[in-house]
Structure 1
């Protein structure tokens, strides 16, 4: 028995030495252990998502600001109606910097939001596909548009919830002007002021319509983008596909179509979210909204009440205020985000892209 124990111990030691030698050999050849390799891949995916969000949002920052201003503009004191007119007004009254007001806060929110969103979609897609194959017994099954919609919805909810306080203060920083009685000096000042004066729950005001809106918005973005790409690769219409790879221009077009569909469906909820975020801001009456009669018009008891008051006082069309600049913004923004994400992942050497 003793000799057998010694033999087992000796075999174990030899095995350990061999494994360590193999790992050292792999490391010298530039091959990382599975754990470190997985962590590096996750980090690269998060970086790609963050870069995609920052680049795409900065490219359309003036339109993003105009959209929010139109959403919360007092209907009894309208200063501009259209996209061009609105941009000219901002330029005239606030200069070039006014076009990008709130973009720093926006990027501080959108970079982690985009990183979490793209990474969550990758992981949710893998999990949903695994579960689908287990349920159907078909190991070769692929993601359907409906499954992609579910993965996108999961990614949107996770990303929105993780970064919502940043979105809350971003909306207020974007809305305030040089004439506002109180000025938020930046992200930290806005967060601490809202927390101190209105309580921690205020940082998540409008969260419910945001989550409800993000399900169709992000879900449709991913589902339409990926399904369009699959269809183009399989059907090869008009000679758009070469060697099973779409050109950057074609992928931009897929992203533009995805963004247009998603934002059109979810836009009314975005308007309601924006208005609910202004509730409790004692200086908001000078820059926003309601029926123009009193500060009480800014008070909503919930999402349904906000819908009801908005439609009653301003009509159904108020739910689509700012849709035109938003549409002009969404087309390049979503397209740039998807393509930038895939390009950066290629540059960083990440093996898997979202369509894989």
Structure 2
């Protein structure tokens, strides 16, 4: 737990640094200082665009998101879900249409503010890092490199994930439970209050450390690959995809798909470990019911390394990639839709700056 406290302090420090850099960048801007009301309105529009992008993209792939989590945490001695199509058919047959979207309300309640903070943080981090880079290099026309974009994306991911992590924790439990689960969480607030009462406040951040480590390559690569690929296509005019110095929606969707594939492949094992650590202490989870119907306590993990070690020892290295197929099918359209929706909503709202700018 000490390592998680240190990591939390590090993320808080990162937040302060980004905010300070962004403020200095604004003050140093040649355009002058904007009116407070205009700046506030611009921030609100950016947050709204990010929230809409997150809600739309996650709802579109909600059935695959639920199946991924069920595959990640299911009992290896009582297999119910053997693949993407079989898993979706099983959920449909046992729980109906609503079963495919179970936990999506909680997921959107988490992902909307998470996405809003993530996109806004990326914009602010990018501006702050670019200002600092220009000042240190002495080049007023310098642009962000892929590595600097990776850093900005990593900062944005850590800030957004930390701000909404308790929601992610209870969302995982709501997604896993079925009608036959002995324990039934009635909703977001009931799950939060129950975990707080029975397991303590630290339980809400169980699995936080692997999440922090995983979000760096995941969100960092998503932003870095998406922005760098778009920038390269526009500047090189490769494949004749550029019209009026802009890329079509289809091309931007393709860029988002490539970015999502890179990010999720690198970070997926950490996502599996995070999800398993979140289930520790929940002895009534459906995923830990044996074949004879008797409740069985899940494995106890003392930390992230111990979770990795026990997972590989008991289930093999492939267990770190359980649910990868439905996650891949989910991530590709999800990331693509999120990026394109974000830019489209900002256009509709009349925001001058987009992440590419």
| TM-score calculated relative to the size of structure 1 | 0.89
Larger Rg: 1
- 1:300 & 1:12 partners in 2: Cα distance? 28
Deviations 1:125-161 (A, max 9, x none): 0000000001100010000000000000000000000
Distance across 1 between alignment mates of 2:350 and 2:295? 57
Tell me: CA distance 1:239–1:294, structure 2 relative to 1, closer, same or farther (3 Å). Answer: same
Task: Compare 304-313 and 292-301 and name the one that shifted more.
Answer: 292-301
| C-alpha distance in 2 between matches for 1:112 and 1:309 | 34
Distance 1:4 1:19 in 2: 24
Query: What is the CA distance between 1:300 and its match in structure 2?
Result: 0.2
Segments of 5+ residues of structure 2 without an aligned counterpart are: none
Describe the shift of the 1:280–1:134 C-alpha distance in structure 2 as closer, same or farther (beyond 3 A): same
- Count of aligned positions: 355
Quote the RMSD (CA, aligned, Å). Answer: 11.7
Q: Distance in 2 between matches of 1:110 and 1:344?
A: 17
C-alpha deviation, 1:80, in angstroms: 2.3
Contact kept? 1:72, 1:289, Cα under 8 Å: no
1:37-83 alpha-carbon deviations (Å, 9 max, x no partner): 00000000000000000000000000000000000011111112110
Q: Which residue of 2 aligns with 1:115?
A: 116
Q: Work out whether residues 290 and 313 of structure 1, in 8 Å CA contact, stay in contact via their aligned partners in 2.
A: no
- TM-score in terms of structure 2 length: 0.89
User: Structure 1 pair 184/136, CA: closer, same or farther in 2 (3 Å)?
Assistant: same
CA distance in 1 between partners of 2:25 and 2:91 (Å): 61
| Contact kept? 1:26, 1:32, Cα under 8 Å | no
Please give the secondary structure, in 2, of the residue aligned with 1:298. coil
Bigger shift: residues 278-287 or 117-126: 278-287
User: Does the CA contact (< 8 Å) of 1:102 and 1:174 recur in 2?
Assistant: yes
Distance 1:174 1:15, change over 3 A: closer
Which sections of structure 1, spanning at least 5 residues, go unmatched?
none
Aligned 8 A contact 2:177 2:286 in 1: no
**Aligned-residue offset at 1:289:** 9.3
- Contact kept, 8 Å, 2:153 with 2:223, in 1: the verdict is yes
Give the match for residue 194 of structure 1. Answer: 195
Query: Closer, same or farther in 2 for the Cα pair 1:167/1:22, shift >3 Å?
Result: closer
Q: CA deviation at 1:213?
A: 0.2
- Partner Cα distance (1:180, 1:10) in 2: 36
